[in-house]
Structures are given as structure tokens and as C-alpha cells.
A and B are shown apart, each in its own frame.
Chain A
């Protein structure tokens, strides 16, 4: 049991080497991979909360994120496909938008909630979103727009998803500096996230409720 606690502690400190080692040791003494993963996800939830409350900042969250993923690599092969991920999210910055700092942060925090994240990158045209929905059948599509000039692309992409008849297959969450809750509602998005921490929290809550 001690190794499991050590996994959590090392993870919180962002020490990827030690987190990885303790995961291996925990497995050796017979802790189940599911238990380890759950514990790691609990820690990531705490990290997300601390980040929202300004007790942790972007760099720390990123460093913890690395430790989480390094440790996840150890248990990943042991997990059956259905227990691997709680759900799937497709994420991207809309067409004409190259801003990826915020998007990457959201992506990393979402990975920490136990979902699979398919990153389409930046400057993603509507058609590419539609195609990804067909390929990966995600629970949620997340879009970001950091410019007033690219906000319109968010609404265009939602319309394209509708046209393709995929709108009721996914939930949509949007965010980015110029985006507001009102705008999100008006263009038919399901959720709006004011910051990266909130985005991850919304995804966690939705996926837990529906899995």
C-alpha cells in the first residue's frame, strides 16, 4: 500500500522518474493497475482544483502532467481497451487560429481526467472536425478560438457538424479569450469553459455521469 501512496506523492511533486518507479513497485507487490490508475486520477483531480484556486500555476501543472503520462505508459499495456479510457475528446483550435498554449493546457488536464484526447492541432478546418468525429466517435468535441476574427469559425464548425448529421452524437465545449457563455449558447454549444481548469472539470463530470 505504501507504494501507492508514494505514487501519489511523487506525482504531486511532478517527479516523473520516481512516480514511474513507484508504479512499477506497486505493481510488483500486487496492487492492481486499476487501483493505481484511480489513485493517479484522484491526484490529478486535486491538481486541477489547486490550479483553479491559483495554488498551482501552469508550469507546475505541466510538469505534473509529464509525470502522469510517464507513469501511465507503464500501466497502459495492462489495461483492457474498455478500461483504458473513460471517454474520448476531440480537441482543436479552429480554422485561422494558431494559438495553442491554452489548447495544449486544456488537453493535458483532460488527459488527467482519464479520457482519451485526440488533438487535431491548430488552424483546424470544419471538415477535419467532422472527419474526426466519424473516425473516433468522441463523447465531446472541444474547440478554442483566441481571436475575435476566428470566433465565427466556431459557429461555422458547429453548423458543419450539424449538416453532417453528427450533432446529436457529441457534446460540444468551447473556450478562448473572446468567447463568452452567451456566445456559446447562441451558437448552439453545449458547454462553455472560462479557463483550462473549468474545461477539464466539465469534461470529467460529464463523462463520469455518462459512462
Chain B
């Protein structure tokens, strides 16, 4: 690197920060008009706001130092003064705050440039040494001035109080080292005692013996900061303090825990564990993320379907490599992507992962709320990137290339598809839950993904806001339209979707079953991952438990929850009304609490009453049901007898249950292979009626009745 260099650093700023400095917060009714005023101001003064950076390299006390000076010209000072003289106080303040912000951003830009330069020489930058910080006397400003200003012959003066003029100027220096001591932290606030509103704290994220350092502003919510930096923390309720799941280990945090937080942590012995959503950043933190290589039990198995007439006949397509298709199922909780040979119909490989949006809430409502509050397209980008990278893995591991992909089909519930397509999902969360009709959407892969070849992408259409493309796909996979018997199809997840097929009708409904069976609002509830209790037996007073992965139990998964509630009722700890006097413990701090029973009652009653209402609409009874299809990962593992015992499903169907597994994924795969797929899916959409349960009197009556445990 040259010893003296000049840089044009470019005008960069953060509108929100500037507005905050002048006390304009988002809840101010005039916020938008202030923001517009600021934008207009930027246009007007643009030519005066160009920041420049000057550096001089020199060895000082045997240490290499980079002396920096970043400055915006004196016209800004004059403009600000003029504003005040003309009583344009607000404009003056805005311009002042804007210039400060541009100056600060320019120093960040310079840091990035210098870091890259250093990287080339295998060197690292120290944090910024700034006059005015406690260890560095203001007189240092004069030293920096003398080193830099004459070299570039700048029009700049320094006062006897060591203040630079033009005033929008910053002088500081870095040392360069051979080892990384600053972890990429430029502006280290830890030494400064000032109550500055720009105060940043350092969070060291320890994971797998590596340390990642992130900086966060004073007053920011810990959970939000971790999410923004893509540190995954489970947070089913998305920071609403309702689920107690966003546990993080923070060594010697020193936070005072709130009473409600303590309740969530009742089964925690490690005092370093806190709930991220409860705390704001007001100190440096050491955060430990456990190496989470737990086995996620994501359902990708499904009931076999047949292909009536093949879309890709072998004649035309036998080349050196068969064309392949990608079937995708976006669940609220999980994401599954499959690689299918379109000619042989072989499902070559399936990849699965937790939906990365889960950090923004377990259920669709929390995600819709997030989108409403944050205009950042984060959820859209997360899911697109996840699908793209999983597809990438699938093709590379199986020796294919992007150009081999003929088409992709994606199914998911309505909210998931809205987020994928970057459609504002607000209307899905408020009555009357209207959806826009995009039918069976077909687009090009390049519209959704960044680094792919062009191929056709089809999106499974929805029936309503809460009976989505995943259900349509499931009905397609199970050949529902051809069935002549009376069949109930349910998918129990965060929402319970129900479809009744009779000889000549198809009626669908959705119930807000709540995320109890996914463990969200259950005291010791958790997903089907390592350490979850999955089976429980009893001999008298002792409980015999089995966990996924045979490890120390850490919680209870959804299917075991049903068994436990049934057992508690059988043993007399829970009465018919659902009353439980005190919690029952199975292993140290893991147990079932009275409030959990209530959550299960709400969830199971919603499903049961939903089925009842649909039968009523079709003038049928439980006895008339010929087959009871249960879809979804949770449905694949539940004990049918216990489910009937607690009243999740009718006792009449115990012998008629058919587990169909991940029928949403199955439907997407069948679509890739079926020639007349479009016709059949359109027929499902046309035929399928929708019954709104939230406004149904009948449903509300049956719902209350179904709450009890009377077997």
C-alpha cells in the first residue's frame, strides 16, 4: 500500500438513524413526513456532502500506524448555520445529523477498504484509536492534523481546543498487527464512558470453538440482534414472551431476570441460561451456542401414489443424462426438497431442514406480524436462499448440474407461498382473510433464485388463506378426486386443516389448533429432535421414558404429549374437565403442568369439532367415515388409540386411520411426473368448497363440548 492515499468514500447514510438522532421515532405520527423532508434535504445538499478520506502510513514507536482523516467540506457547516439564522431549526438539525451520519458511514467504508488492503498483506487492523477516547488525549488530534493536512495541502484549521474546521471531520488512527486482536471490530466503544446514543456493545458468539463477533446498538433487543446476524435461536412466539423457548447461554451475564422469565426457566439449572427476548443490549456479552447437530425428525416419507400417464416419455428424453425435476414442500416448521428423475420416476434424494424463517416465529401469524413491522424482505430472502442452496446440494451430491433441471414445483401453505413470492401477507391475518387469486402460478426460476439456470417453476394453488397449496398437493397425492367413499383428510400442524370427501363433494376447513402439538406453548414442549421424550410407560408410581436418540431427556415432543395427557387422565391426575392440581414430573425438571393440559384441550377440540362440522354440512356422522387420512409429520408418529382417548380424533375411526405422511411433498413429486396434473389440480380447486369455521355458531358449540375428556 502507498504511504499516502486519498479516497472518495461515497455518500452513504441510514435514514432511520438520522431521524432518531433528532428524536423522530417511528411511532411519531409525523414520522413519514419528516422522512420525506430528510430525503428532499439530501437531494438539495448532495453536492456538499461528498466525504473524502486521507491516509498517511508511518511507523510510530516502532509500530506501523495508519493515520486517517475523513472529512466533508465546509459548505455543510455554512448551510447548517444559515438554516439556524433563518429559523429553519428543524432543517438545520436534520442536516447536521445527516452530515454526522454520512461522516460516520464514510469511516466505515474506509475501514472496509483498509481491511481488504491489509488482508492482501496478511495483516490485521486494530480497532480505531480516536482522540477523545479515555486513553487518547485530545492533543492527539493535533498530531494527526500535522501528519495529514500538510501532505495533502487541505483547507482545514485546528482550534486551540483541538477542534477541526470544517467541523464534519474525523481524525483517528489504526495500528496494524500480524494477529487478529480486534475480531473485525472497528469502532470499539468498550473504553468509552460516554452515554452516547450511538453506543455499541460487543457480542462474542462462541460456537464450535470459533468466535464470531457482532456489534449491537445500546437498547436493541438481544433476540432481534441474534436473528439479524443469522445466529439461529429457536423462538416459536417470535419474541412476544409467550413461549419461553429462546434460551441462550450467556456467561456471567449479570442481567436481573424478570419474574415471568424465571417461570420459563424453572427447569433450568444453569444460571447462565436466559431468554433472549427478555433482554436488551446494555453490556458486552459472551454467548455460547451449543453445537446443535441434533437429529431433526422431519417427515419426508409418504404414502405411495400412482402416475396415470407419464409427462416425460422416455423416447424423447433419453439423452446422456435424464432430465430431473425438483419437488419442494415448504412447511411452516420444516422444508423438504426432493430430486426426481423425470423419466424413471425414481426419487433420487431428499434434503430436509428446519425452515429458516422459524427464528421469526413458530406460527404463520408471528411471521406475518414480522413482515408488517419490518420492511426488509428478510423472510422472503431466507426461504428463497434455503431452497436454492438445498437444490444446489442435491444436484452436486448426485452429479447433476443446473441445466439438467427441467422443472420445479413448490407446495406450501398460503402464507409460505405469499412470503416466497414476496406478496404482502397482511390480509391473511385479518378477517375476512381474503387472498388474491393467482391460480396455478408458473414463473421462471430466475425470478426467485439468484444463481440458477432458467427452468420452469410451478406453484401449487391455494383454496383459501388457511387451506393452502400444501393441502391441494396432499389431495392430489392421495388421488382424492377419484375416491367414491367418505374420506376425512386432516393435516395437524400449527393449524389443523380438514377436508371431507364424499361421493360428490369435497369440503375443506381450517382450525386454529395452535402450536401445542409442535411444543410451542407447552412448558417442557419441544420439536421432534434429540432429547425429546417420545414414549412413556408406567408401572405404578414410576415413569419409564424413552427419548429420541436415547439421550438425557430435555423436553416432550408432540406425539408423546398426547400419550402423556391420556396417561394423566387414566391415572386420575387430570379430571374430565381438564383440571390438574399440580404438575407431574417424569425426570428431574421435565414434566407436565396444569397449563399444558389446557393448551392440549384447545388444540384437540379444534380438530375434533372441525371434523364434526364438516360431517354435519355433508349430513353424515362419524359412523359413515370409510377412511381417516392423517397427513403431516406429527400425524405419522401419533398413537391412534391415545389420540381417540383424549378426543383428538373420533373413536369411531380408530381402525380406519391411514397415515399418509408428507403428502404435500408427495403431491409435488406426482405433479412433476403426471401428464394431466394441471387438469386434476384445477378440478380439485374448482370442486373443493370452503367452510369458514371462525364464524360458525355450530363450530363454537361443538368446540366447547369437545374440550372435555369424557371417554
- Interface-side segment among A31-39, A61-69, A82-90, A129-137: A61-69
A205: shortest Cβ distance to chain B, in Å?
24
Residues of A contacting B96 in the complex (Cβ-Cβ under 8 angstroms): 100-101
With the chains together, A98 CA to B99 CA distance in Å?
Answer: 13
With the chains together, A47 CA to B33 CA distance in Å?
Answer: 21
With the chains together, A104 CA to B88 CA distance in Å?
Answer: 12
Residues of B contacting A178 in the complex (Cβ-Cβ under 8 angstroms): 193-195
B22 and A95 contact, CB distance less than 8 A? no
Total A residues in contact with B, Cβ cutoff 8 Å: 30
B689: shortest Cβ distance to chain A, in Å?
53
Residues of B contacting A146 in the complex (Cβ-Cβ under 8 angstroms): 194
B339: shortest Cβ distance to chain A, in Å?
56
Contact residue among B24, B25, B162, B194 (Cβ-Cβ distance under 8 Å from A177): B194
A65 and B89 contact, Cβ closer than 8 Å, known pairs A95-B161, A148-B193: yes
Name B84's closest neighbour in chain A (CB-CB). A104
With the chains together, A177 CA to B96 CA distance in Å?
Answer: 19
B159: shortest Cβ distance to chain A, in Å?
5
Of residues 143 through 159 on chain A, the ones whose CB sits less than 8 Å from some CB of chain B are 146-149, 153
B694: shortest Cβ distance to chain A, in Å?
39
A99: shortest Cβ distance to chain B, in Å?
10
With the chains together, A104 CA to B87 CA distance in Å?
Answer: 11
Residues of A contacting B97 in the complex (Cβ-Cβ under 8 angstroms): 101
Answer whether residue A123 sits at the interface, using C-beta atoms and an 8 A cutoff: yes
A59 and B90 contact, CB distance less than 8 A? yes
B219: shortest Cβ distance to chain A, in Å?
15
Answer whether residue B167 sits at the interface, using C-beta atoms and an 8 A cutoff: yes
A66 and B89 contact, CB distance less than 8 A? yes
Residues of A contacting B23 in the complex (Cβ-Cβ under 8 angstroms): 57-59
With the chains together, A148 CA to B23 CA distance in Å?
Answer: 23
CB-defined interface of B681-704 with A at 8 Å, one 1/0 digit per residue? 000000000000000000000000
A57 and B92 contact, Cβ closer than 8 Å, known pairs A122-B163, A123-B159, A149-B138: no
Name B33's closest neighbour in chain A (CB-CB). A59
B134 and A148 contact, CB distance less than 8 A? yes
Name A127's closest neighbour in chain B (CB-CB). B160
Answer whether residue A70 sits at the interface, using C-beta atoms and an 8 A cutoff: yes
A57 and B138 contact, CB distance less than 8 A? no
Answer whether residue B196 sits at the interface, using C-beta atoms and an 8 A cutoff: yes
B159 and A59 contact, CB distance less than 8 A? no
Of residues 169 through 194 on chain A, the ones whose CB sits less than 8 Å from some CB of chain B are 177-178
Residues of B contacting A101 in the complex (Cβ-Cβ under 8 angstroms): 21-22, 93, 96-97
Of residues 105 through 149 on chain A, the ones whose CB sits less than 8 Å from some CB of chain B are 105, 108, 122-123, 125, 146-149
B130: shortest Cβ distance to chain A, in Å?
11
Name B160's closest neighbour in chain A (CB-CB). A125
B416: shortest Cβ distance to chain A, in Å?
39
Answer whether residue B28 sits at the interface, using C-beta atoms and an 8 A cutoff: yes
B167 and A122 contact, CB distance less than 8 A? yes
Contact residue among A69, A147, A148, A177 (Cβ-Cβ distance under 8 Å from B87): A69
Identify which of A58, A59, A96 gathers the most chain B CB atoms within 10 Å of its CB. A59
B194 and A96 contact, CB distance less than 8 A? no
A60 and B89 contact, Cβ closer than 8 Å, known pairs A125-B160, A147-B132, A148-B194: no
With the chains together, A46 CA to B389 CA distance in Å?
Answer: 60
A66 and B161 contact, Cβ closer than 8 Å, known pairs A60-B30, A148-B193, A178-B194: no
Contact residue among A108, A122, A148 (Cβ-Cβ distance under 8 Å from B89): A108
Residues of A contacting B264 in the complex (Cβ-Cβ under 8 angstroms): none
A96 and B163 contact, CB distance less than 8 A? yes
Contact residue among A62, A95, A96 (Cβ-Cβ distance under 8 Å from B93): A62
Answer whether residue B34 sits at the interface, using C-beta atoms and an 8 A cutoff: yes
B24 and A58 contact, CB distance less than 8 A? yes
Residues of A contacting B93 in the complex (Cβ-Cβ under 8 angstroms): 58-59, 62, 101, 104-105
A180: shortest Cβ distance to chain B, in Å?
11
Residues of A contacting B134 in the complex (Cβ-Cβ under 8 angstroms): 148-149
With the chains together, A62 CA to B90 CA distance in Å?
Answer: 5
Q: Measuring CB to CB, which residues of chain A are less than 8 angstroms from any residue of chain B?
A: 16, 57-60, 62-63, 65-66, 69-70, 95-98, 100-101, 104-105, 108, 122-123, 125, 146-149, 153, 177-178
With A62-B89, A96-B138 already in contact, 15 other A-B pairs whose C-beta atoms are closer than 8 Å = A57-B28, A59-B28, A60-B30, A63-B89, A66-B90, A69-B87, A95-B159, A96-B161, A96-B162, A101-B93, A123-B161, A125-B160, A147-B132, A153-B161, A178-B195
**A-B CB contact pairs (8 Å), 8 listed:** A63-B90, A66-B87, A96-B162, A96-B163, A122-B163, A177-B194, A177-B195, A178-B195
